[in-house]
Chains A and B, each alone.
Chain A
Amino acid sequence: MKKFLSFFAKIDKSEQGKQYLVLFNFIKIRITHSRREAFIGYIFIGIWIIGFLWLTVYPLFMSLIYSFANVTIPGGQGVRIEFNGFQNYIDILNDFQFLSALQSFVIQLLLYLPLAIIISMMIAILLNQKIKMRGFFRSIFFLPVIIASGPIMATLFGSGERAGLLNQTLNEEVPMLLQSFLPEFLSEFVTGMYAHLIVILWFSGVQIILFLAGLQKINKEIYEAASIDGASPWESFWKITLPSLKPIILVSAIYTIVMLSTFPNNRVLFRINVVRQSSFGDASALSWVYSLVVALFLGIVSFILLYERKAKEKKVNMEVKR
């Protein structure tokens, strides 16, 4: 048995103390320290690579194929694929429900993304001040992370035709209150923004925590030095706080996009789920179009935020060279 195994792989020691791994009595690989390290490293992450190829790359590839085909499962076992070219993608152009859902998703993203980041940064800065009952506030602000699940968010914000709890109460009562003491054009604007603001607040639990963690990493002495030099809190926010939070802005922007795009009461996903029940091919095409839109957003956002940093680094390098 040992002889049989040694045909596939064995370790040879030469006179100079060098070790060789011999495969099939033919391929000789010298065992060096770095090669052994690499081998052990691949053992550690191997389980992820297998899973990635089997459960992510292969399904991605298959869904790309399905999106160009008519997929049926005859008799519940095995898949029959009949290619029909771009027919599924042409069908999308006639799917007004999907297109309108996608349009409103894009508008929602454009509106929510900057607001969510600004609001969560502001709240984090508030929480980072010297205040009493900080722990209490922090545990309340963490609540959305704990309880935000599909059915519960559906109860709060409504799904499909059903109005949500927050829409019913807050969105009717508070605007009425506002109308009583604000001029009309202002109250209209505020009520318009109001419903969105509540949703944004509910979506920004994790981002607040991210910003808070970032704020606590900033060295307090920098602020002291700045205030001795006569900087107002306003100035030190723009010159110290904001630049140090740049990396976290990128992380929470990505987080916001991913969260908004995968959240269960997203109307686009609702439509994809409906289509999936009748046709796998059409649903695959829809989800590819949808994920391309999301990827486009992710790409643009990370390009903008990373490009600025790169440009700045270049500038610093130039100055150092001079």
Chain B
Amino acid sequence: MKKDYKASMNKVRRFLVGMHFTDGFIFKFIIYFLLIIVGFVYVYPLLVMGSFSLMSLEDLVNPMVSQIPTELYFQNYADAWRALDYIKVFFQSLVVTLLPAIIQTFVASLIGYGFARFEFPLKKMWMLLVLLTYLIPPQVFIIPRFILYNDLGLLNNVGAILLPTIFGQGLNSAIFILIFYQFYKMIPKALDEAAQIDGANRSFIYFKIAIPLSIPSFITTFLFSFVWQWNETYQAFIFLGDGWQTLQTRLAIFVSASQGNQVTVIEAAQNEAQAMAGNLLILLPMLIVYFILQRWFIEGVDKSGLTGE
């Protein structure tokens, strides 16, 4: 009888604590519990946005309805769609996202290759300066750049975003240069030397050997650049202005305009719901891209040396 009790106690303990704690039930339970709570913090805003944006006027006013709308009401989306001028502004956004992302990827690869493959005087200094460009807050040089672009006639059009990107000074360019630097360092130099002996010149080696090998880095860089450019608002506001609106700036203008002439509580709530619908309309393209290509986003970080050691 006593032996039985002891054996079952042992079994329970083995179940709860496991062989060395990390494989027991308690440990597993704590891990899942924490992960679900933190995951909830990330998903919750999306859910609230979704439910809020689907609420009709009655639901918004009705104090009984706080989370889940009584019916699916898409008028907010229609209003937001019209307010954002979605199709036209979406393509404008796409231009200032896609073009810089493509250019940035190629330029970063070129510069990263230069740093990884060649020995030249002052290399350490230039590397340090590349890192420094990431650390300088953009507010410091935004005014002189504004005046510079004004003189060059680039304000209010795509050029203001493309010019710094072409010269490797775009949004977070330093990170992308580092990614390529890390990657090209890993390719053995013997490969280049073999090609050189066979009579290949430097540009041939870069285009025909280095680029095909670094396709994963290209994809990761392109995706991150794409997402960051899409989400960028600060420079878009200042340099693109009204001349070339993006979805983000258009939404911000819509929100601040609707705040300006709030009359009643009901209208304010309705504006909120429309703003939520607008937010989701902006998020949607990125969410689609992310869920289709998420493997590249997450593995890319592991493989491409974004950790910057």
Interface stretch of the complex, out of B1-9, B73-81, B129-137 = B129-137
The A/B interface has a contact count, at CB < 8 Å, of 252
> What distance in Å separates the Cβ of A223 from its nearest Cβ neighbour in chain B?
10
Complex contact A294–B148 (CB within 8 A): no
> What distance in Å separates the Cβ of A116 from its nearest Cβ neighbour in chain B?
13
> Residues of A within 8 Å of B, CB-based: how many?
93
Q: Give every chain B residue within 8 A of A248 (Cβ-Cβ).
A: 307, 309
Give the contacts of A247-291 with B (CB-CB under 8 A).
247-248, 251, 254, 258, 261-262, 264, 269, 272, 276, 280, 283-284, 287-288, 290-291
Complex contact B135–A295 (CB within 8 A): yes
Complex contact A140–B43 (CB within 8 A): yes
Cβ-neighbour of A287 out of B21, B139, B148 (below 8 A): B139
Complex contact A41–B119 (CB within 8 A): yes
Complex contact A146–B287 (CB within 8 A): yes
Complex contact A170–B135 (CB within 8 A): no
- A201 at interface, CB cutoff 8 A: yes
Cβ-neighbour of A288 out of B39, B134, B140, B259 (below 8 A): B140
Q: How large is the interface on B (under 10, 10 to 19, 20 to 34, 35 or more residues)?
A: 35 or more
Q: Give every chain A residue within 8 A of B143 (Cβ-Cβ).
A: 59, 63, 66, 276, 280, 283-284, 287
Complex contact B164–A44 (CB within 8 A): no
Q: Give every chain A residue within 8 A of B141 (Cβ-Cβ).
A: 55-56, 59-60, 63
What 0/1 pattern do residues 87 to 102 of B give for CB contact below 8 A with A?
0000000000000000
Complex contact B34–A151 (CB within 8 A): no
Complex contact B39–A141 (CB within 8 A): yes
- B72 at interface, CB cutoff 8 A: no
Question: How far apart sit A192 and B113, CA to CA, in the bound complex (Å)?
Answer: 49
- B208 at interface, CB cutoff 8 A: no
Question: How far apart sit A162 and B92, CA to CA, in the bound complex (Å)?
Answer: 28
Give the contacts of B139-180 with A (CB-CB under 8 A).
139-145, 147-148, 150-151, 163-164, 166-169, 177
Q: Give every chain B residue within 8 A of A131 (Cβ-Cβ).
A: 28, 31-32, 35
> What distance in Å separates the Cβ of B15 from its nearest Cβ neighbour in chain A?
17
Cβ-neighbour of A47 out of B22, B107, B120, B151 (below 8 A): B107
- B298 at interface, CB cutoff 8 A: yes
Complex contact A44–B227 (CB within 8 A): no
Q: Give every chain B residue within 8 A of A56 (Cβ-Cβ).
A: 133, 136, 141, 169
Complex contact B279–A150 (CB within 8 A): no
Q: Give every chain A residue within 8 A of B32 (Cβ-Cβ).
A: 131
What 0/1 pattern do residues 227 to 259 of B give for CB contact below 8 A with A?
100111110000000000000100110010001
Question: How far apart sit A214 and B202, CA to CA, in the bound complex (Å)?
Answer: 34
Complex contact B119–A34 (CB within 8 A): yes
Complex contact A63–B39 (CB within 8 A): no
Cβ-neighbour of B202 out of A40, A50, A138, A145 (below 8 A): A40
Give the contacts of A114-139 with B (CB-CB under 8 A).
123, 126-127, 129-131, 137-139
Q: Give every chain B residue within 8 A of A284 (Cβ-Cβ).
A: 140, 143
Q: Chain B: which residue is nearest A293 at the CB level?
A: B137
Apart from A202-B42, A264-B234, what 4 extra A-B contacts exist at CB < 8 Å?
Answer: A44-B115, A151-B252, A155-B275, A155-B279
20 A–B contacts from the bound complex (CB under 8 Å):
A39-B120, A43-B114, A45-B111, A50-B167, A51-B166, A51-B169, A55-B169, A62-B144, A63-B140, A126-B31, A129-B22, A139-B290, A147-B46, A201-B41, A248-B309, A262-B137, A284-B143, A287-B139, A291-B136, A294-B135
Residues in B lying within 8 Å of A, measured CB to CB: 20-23, 28, 31-32, 34-35, 38-39, 41-46, 48-49, 52, 107, 110-111, 113-115, 117-121, 123, 126, 129-130, 133-145, 147-148, 150-151, 163-164, 166-169, 177, 202, 227, 230-234, 248, 251-252, 255, 259, 275-276, 279, 282-283, 286-287, 290-291, 294, 297-298, 301-302, 306-309
Among all A-B residue pairs, the 6 with the closest Cβ atoms: A51-B167, A44-B114, A41-B118, A149-B231, A150-B233, A59-B141
